[in-house]
Amino acid sequence: MTDSPPDLRGRRILLGVCGGIAAYKAADLSRRLIEAGADVQVVMTDNAARFVGAATFQALTGKPVRDSLWDAQAESHMGHIELARWADLILVAPASANTLARLAHGLADDLLATLVLASDRPLAVAPAMNRLMWNAPATQDNLATLRARGVRVLGPGAGFQACGETGEGRMREPSDLRDDVAGLLGPHGPLAGRHAVVTAGPTREPIDPVRFITNRSSGKQGYALARALAQLGARVSLISGPTQLAVPPGCVRIEVETAAQMCAAALDAAASAELFVGTAAVADYRVQDVATDKIKKTGTTMQLALVRNDDILVRVRAARPDLFMVGFAAETENLEAHARDKLARKQLNLIAANRVGPGRAFDVDDNQLSVYWAGGQRELASAPKDVLARELALLIAEHFVTGP
């Protein structure tokens, strides 16, 4: 799947780049921040310039790189003070052991250290260094000092290092740092501060202690949509059936297994929600009598009595008549007719429908959706599920904000 960025439009990030081989990742980070809509100003140390040229960052950001306290044109107007006030967030990535020490001790011997000292804006550092330097008592003491002052330490990761060793000290990946920035800056976007509930994935209905009935849902579309809503500023409660997917940034996952458990969790979360999106592939039926012991193979056939599960969307709508609700419809035929019937019958605000079958929707990374509402519709063309989720989240936000 492709990488769908958060919404950082209008946010101003001062990116401090220090010396170290990880400086090349800072170029990718600046690109990702800009793609998310951020305004990025790069400040480089002298040592950083030995690894990556200033022209690279200028080409990516569209701004001249700042690297000296002795820039006569900038400092004639107290440029370092202006920069310190300009940023919404100062992010030092990579942050070398040397820079961490200088920041911890309040030095002001270059432009980056000076503007950090002169700023009251949030400060985050993404350490990058050899594993022994990272574990050195002096480095850990400096980090403790910075944390005590409210500095956010992002990473590092562990793995193979440029020096040939393996261990902690790798700079956190640029896409993760970009998401960290979005989280540090707080809710931003058309759904800022809103509580959204998303159901995702399959349910499992037990037959006996080792067998169950389920479906082919991977949860990818639901998780992608939860992430997209969080990127638009929502606080997302993600009620998930069994999947192997990681929790999206900005989401709190509530794990369930059966349809009954998902229904109970949905009703509980919906009580305080302003937006509910049901993407989960919930089993329509469950086994009437679940065996307490493993069923032994005794004949050529076996019959299971099934009973109908509660419809989660119907239950939530009955409990919350005022809630903005979005449903999903997976169909093999008569897509629009079935979707619009479900839209009306379950009193939904929007419904996203897609065709399913071999090579469609399930077990693949792409999808396409037809979105319907009373008196309108929109087609979302085939795209990776996270890209599609972004388009759908924006459409949901548009209808949610403007109302019926």
> Catalytic residue numbers?
163
Phi, psi of 321 (to 5 degrees): -60, -25
DSSP secondary structure string, 327-390? EEEEESS-HHHHHHHHHHHTT-SEEEEEE-BTTBSTTSSEEEEEEEETTEEEEEEEEEHHHHHH
Sheet of 275-278: strands edge to edge? 251-255, 235-240, 195-200, 275-278, 324-331, 350-355, 366-373, 376-384
Distance CA 258, CA 156 (A): 38
Distance CA 335, CA 324 (A): 23
Distance CA 143, CA 150 (A): 11
Distance CA 42, CA 58 (A): 8
The token pair that represents 360 in the structure block: 């469609």
Whole-number CA gyration radius for the chain: 26
DSSP letter for 281, please. B
Across the strands, what pairs with 197?
A: 237, 276
Short-list 355, 363, 354, 358, CA closest to 389: 354
The token pair that represents 103 in the structure block: 């920041």
Short-list 67, 137, 64, 133, CA closest to 95: 133
Distance CA 5, CA 291 (A): 47
| 30 to 191, 234, 262, 346, 382: CA distances (angstroms) | 25, 25, 40, 45, 29
Helix (H, G, I), strand (E, B) or coil at 207: strand
Report the number of secondary-structure helices (H) and strands (E) in the chain. Answer: 14, 19
DSSP letter for 49, please. G
